[in-house]
Structure 1
């Protein structure tokens, strides 16, 4: 390189042939180089840049601090390497981009060592590097960034660098372009050597649209799977609730059976009490007959004619007294029996009233049991059909069209839930 620098006007034959090929290619395909890197693609005279000129400009930018001497020498070497490589556009992308990146990093490391590792220092190093590139080589910051981006993206992929020109590499070096898309475009480029930059961009746009459609389909599939999981969970919950309702219905059925058994026992008790009441009525009739008999005897004694010899005694005859006491005792027994009979009749009436209430409650429970069984069977079928309807609506192309119907159905379900809550609240 020292020899080339000492005699810049003398160029090897192969270097001249490269320049000639580049000029012919530019004349044949002018659209390939209509981009911000035009200043790099134009023919440049390497004699216009030498180490002394580059060192003078960088010293004017960095200052006369002796600490920058080694940095200026290294940067000058990088600038000379870049200047020599600018005529070899596609073959030297790696060299140009690498030297530019290396220069930025060297400048940043020196500034950080001197001023500290700060964001402002890093930004100053980058800005200063682009200023050096522009003032020493005439490379605009935009072009330098694009070369650096191409280097960072394709430095390890020589096949891509050889297959595409710089304008196409700039398109492929964008952050949103994936390695898979680059490989697919490279395969197309191998099959069609006449692909232009516009063809590469059109193919990239088409691949990106396809990838976006695939991604949208994947997201939609994930959403459908998530909805299926939600519906599966909802079905599990509905099945659990149905099982719980069936358990509740079975418990209610057992309670109804117990009530029927209690009602049967109440009927037996009623029959026994009714039989006891009949016995009490028979005893009452017997006591009444005894009272009538004793009353007749008293009347007979009262109406009996007196004897010839009348003898007054201070007490009633013994027979009369015993009959009177017996009548009085029978009357008391009759009163007690009537009181017991009245109590028994009242208890029997209360028992009949209780039996009527139990029978009415049992009948109502049977009606509720039958109705809840019908509702449970209907709800299981309704839950399945509702899930199928939701999946059908979500899978349709225009789900919003079915919004009014779903809103009406939701209002009906909310009304039913409100009524159930009101019924449960009224019971509590």
Structure 2
């Protein structure tokens, strides 16, 4: 029996909780006399006076207050009626006082003071309660489901400017699933949702930063690849130029070899001419040294033998001089060819060194580009982006090093 009595008390206690009007959390108990039209009208005349300029105002205020008093006795879904009429009444009071006093700050303050005093004295609605109703009305005017599920105190928590529609919807769903949620539960759930959104926002900002870093790396890689392609084109052009110079050098070597062979032939001809000149000189000297035979004979011309030897000697001397001049010219030409050959060979050797250095830098950059691509894939596929920051910084330093080497190679071209 004692157990049955305890269960009855518990059931009774639950029923009392279910019948509890949440509006009583803000308003005090409503007595039948408190909502009488005569009392409301009396309070209005005490505050605003009996002047004819306030007759229409008092009549409208009395109707609004009577409707509010009746709405307080119904369920909390009448928040629209209560909040809307309170706001309407406050606007009526402000408009009436501004009409008589002008648009002044003091008139607006006096209108607000009179309005809240009227709500308190006519219906027992305190200033903070009236403000809650009006704020909840403005915040949840279009959300009838929230007005139906939450009481005014809970709506006041959710009416803050920092509470989003998504948070209200989540708490509304939780309240519908568990009707025993208290204000403290709602307040804790709201704080949890806000912390989650803040953490999500921080996570998104971090993700955006990493995405920006990756995009910068991709851009730098694209720029480096474009630069590498341009350098490769330059290297190809340089290799082609070197090949052309090598072909030209080979032609010069062939020409030089041919000229050397011609020089040898020319030297042989010169030696033969020297021998012939020596032979002719010997013959001439022999003729000159031969004892003359005394013959008296008148001739009109020089003896044929003497004349032919002299002419032949002069001719051979002229040919010798011409050969010597040709030999000097050929030797000078060979010296110029040798100088040009050395110059071209030096240029080709320097170009080959630059080509090798650039090829080595490009090979190293291609290996680095492969590592960078793998790193980007790993970072994008990873959940913990923070752990890859040292890798990204290392790759950035490597990229700067390779670009510096490539730029150094370009300056040498």
TM-score (norm 2): 0.77
Contact (CA 8 Å) 1:189, 1:195: kept in 2 or not? yes
**Is 1:151 the equivalent of 2:141?**
no
Matched, 1:52 2:32: no
Offset, 1:140? 5.0
Q: Secondary structure at the match of 1:43?
A: coil
| 1:199 Cα deviation from its structure 2 partner | 1.1
* Residue aligning to 2:234: 248
Distance 1:383 1:113 in 2: 78
Q: Counterpart of 2:327?
A: 341
Once the 2 structures are TM-superposed, how far is the Cα of residue 424 of structure 1 from its aligned partner? 5.3
Cα distance in structure 2, aligned partners of 1:290 and 1:337: 14
Match for residue 296 of structure 1?
282
In the other structure, the counterpart of 1:135 is 117
1:192 aligns to 2:178 (yes or no): yes
Q: 2:148 aligns with which of 162, 165, 168?
A: 162
CA offsets 1:158-206 (integer angstroms, 9 cap, x no match): 4322322221111011122223322322232233333221111111111
Aligned to 1:9: none
Structure 1 residue 46, shift from structure 2 partner: 6.4
Note the 1:320-331 alignment, pairs <5 A.
320-331=306-317
Matches within 5 A, 1:261-340: 261-309=247-295, 317=303, 319-340=305-326
Larger displacement relative to structure 2 (242-251 or 183-192): 183-192
Is the Cα–Cα contact under 8 Å of residues 239 and 355 in structure 2 kept in the other structure?
A: yes
CA gap 1:234/1:417 in 2 versus in 1, 3 angstroms: closer
Q: Does 1:99 align with 2:85?
A: yes
Out of 159, 163, 178, which is 1:177 matched to? 163
Pairs aligned (count): 389
Contact 2:116 2:126 in 1 (8 A): yes
| Structure 1: runs of 5+ lacking an equivalent | 1-20
> Structure 1 residues 377, 59: CA separation in 2 closer, same or farther (over 3 Å shift)?
farther
Q: How far off its partner does 1:326 sit?
A: 3.0
RMSD, matched Cα: 4.0
Question: Within 1, Cα distance between the matches of 2:177 and 2:55?
Answer: 51
Answer whether contact 2:40 2:65 (CA < 8 A) is retained: no
Distance (Å, rounded) in 2 between the aligned partners of 1:127 and 1:244: 75
The one-character-per-residue Cα deviations of 1:82-104 (angstroms, maximum 9, x if unpaired) are 45545658354222211122234
Partners of 1:400 and 1:239 lie apart in 2 by 23
* Cα shift readout 1:311-350 (whole Å, capped 9, x = no counterpart): 7999975543443343233223212211220221121122
Distance (Å, rounded) in 2 between the aligned partners of 1:209 and 1:92: 33
1:150 is displaced (CA, Å) by 0.6
Q: Is the 8 A contact 2:214 2:376 kept in 1?
A: no
Q: CA deviation at 1:382?
A: 1.3
Q: Output the TM-score relative to the length of structure 1.
A: 0.75
Does residue 359 of structure 2 align to residue 373 of structure 1?
Answer: yes
Q: Which stretch has the larger CA shift, 273-282 or 220-229?
A: 220-229
Mean Cα deviation higher: 196-205 or 316-325 = 316-325
Deviates more, 1:187-196 or 1:249-258: 187-196
Determine if contact 1:160/1:186 at 8 Å carries over to the other structure.
yes
For the 8 Å contact 2:245–2:348, the answer to whether it is kept is yes
Distance 1:229 1:413 in 2: 15
Q: Of 368, 382, 397, which residue of structure 2 is paired with 1:382?
A: 368
SS across alignment from 2:162: coil
CA 1:329–1:204 in structure 2 vs 1: closer, same or farther (change >3 Å)?
Answer: same
**Contact 1:75/1:103, CA 8 A, preserved across alignment:** yes
| Counterpart Cα distance in 1 of 2:127 and 2:236 | 83
Q: Deviations over 1:126-177 (max 9, x none)?
A: 6444312322122555433321111112233343223222211110111222
Displacement of 1:282 after TM fit? 2.4
